[in-house]
Amino acid sequence: MCDKKLNEEKMAIRMKNSLSFLFIGHIAIDSIIRFKQKRKPSLGGSVTFGSLGLRKYTKSTKIGIISNLGVINFDKSLLKHFDNKSIDISGVKSFETENTNFVLDYSNHSRTLTLKSRSPNLRFEDIPEFYKTNLPNIIVLVPLCNEVSYEYVSKVLVEFPNAFIGIDLQGFIRNIDDDGKISYISDETIIANMKKIISLIGDRLILKGSEIEMKLLSGETDLQKVMESFKRFENKAIYIMTLGEGGSMILKNGEKLLKIPAFKPKTVVDETGAGDVYLAIFICELINSDMSWNAVEKAGYNASAAASFLIEKKGPTGFETKNKVIKRIESKNYVN
C-alpha cells in the first residue's frame, strides 16, 4: 500500500468525531519486588498501562479493552483503576480459572520475570459484536504470554480491514519454561511466526520492541543493524526499539533512522509499563498527524516524555496529561 493511500485513510479517520482504540491482551496481576522488598500486588498488563495512559493523555479518544480475567486469584477491587475513566471493559471475559500473574524482580538495573499463573488464550469469537459494527480505528495487540495467536491476528485483519495495528513484541516472542521463568531465547518457530505476522499486517503496522526483543527478532546485535534489518520486509510499517535510558529508535523504509532521547523523571520508582505508555501515546500522536517523518519524530518525543512520568509512581498511576508532557518536552531535560 502506498503512502498516499495510507494518508487518505488516515484523513478519513480524523474526520470522524474521535479516534477509537481497542487494546487486546491479558489483564495481569503484578507482584513487584524492588531492592528485595515485595510490594502489594497491583493491576498490570499492557492493556492496563496503555489504556489508562492514553485516557490521561487525552479525553476525546474512545478506548476499549479485550481481555480474559481469571477470577480465582484476582481481587476485583483492582479494577477500580478503570472507574470513571470512560474505558469500555465490556470485552473483558471472566473465567473460573487463575488469572495471569507475574512476579517482577528488579535488581541491579535488570528485571527477572516469572509467570505464576495465566488466564486462557484469547479467542477471536469472544470479541463483542459491538466492535464489529462500531469499528475501531486502531487495534493494539499487546499479549503478555503468547495468548494471541497468528490465527487470531489474521481474523482481526479480515474483520477490521481499515484499522491501523499496533504490536508490542514482548508477549509474542517470550519463552516460558515449566517453572514460569521467562526468557528471550531464539526459537525458530516463534521468530518465524512473528515474521509472518509482520508480513501479514504490512503497511498498517506500528511495531515496538525492547532492545533485547528487537535483537532477537532481527538476529543482529549492533543497534543500527537491528533497525536496518527491518527494511527486508519491504513495507511502510513503522518499527520502534525502546532502549530504556538510551531513549528509542524509529525506522520506516525510505526514511532516515530517528533517535529519540529519554527524558529525565523526577525519581525512579517503578519502570513497569513504560513501554506500553510509549506505544499508546506514539500511535495516538501519529494518527492525529499528517504522518510525515517530522510528525513521526514529534510523536516519538511525546511518547518518550509521557513514559518518563509513569516511572515516577508505583503501579498504573503515574500518567500525565498532554499539556504536562509537552512542558517536559520543552524542558529538553534528557537522560545523558
The residue extents of the domains of the chain are 3-331
Q: What pLDDT is stored for residue 12 in this prediction? A: 54
How much is the pLDDT for 8?
58
Closest CA to 216 of 172, 254, 272: 172
Instruction: Write the single-letter amino acid at 252.
Output: K
Q: Which residues contact 125 (CB under 8 A, 6 or more apart)?
A: none
Q: Which of 45, 29, 39, 42 is nearest to 105 (CA)?
A: 39
3/290 Cα distance (integer angstroms): 11
- Phi/psi for 46 (5° steps) reads -65, -30
Rounded to two decimals, what is the model's pTM? 0.93
What CATH number was assigned to the domain covering residues 3-331?
Answer: 3.40.1190.20
Give the pLDDT of the chain (336 residues) as one tens digit per residue. 456 666 655 555 554 457 999 999 999 999 988 877 888 999 999 999 999 999 999 999 999 999 999 999 999 999 999 999 999 999 999 999 999 999 989 877 678 899 999 999 999 999 999 999 999 999 999 999 999 999 999 999 999 999 999 999 999 999 999 999 998 888 899 999 999 999 999 999 999 999 999 999 999 999 999 999 999 999 999 999 999 999 999 999 999 999 999 999 999 998 999 999 999 999 999 999 999 999 999 999 999 999 999 999 999 999 999 999 999 999 999 998
Q: Strands 138-141 and 110-117: what pairing? A: unpaired
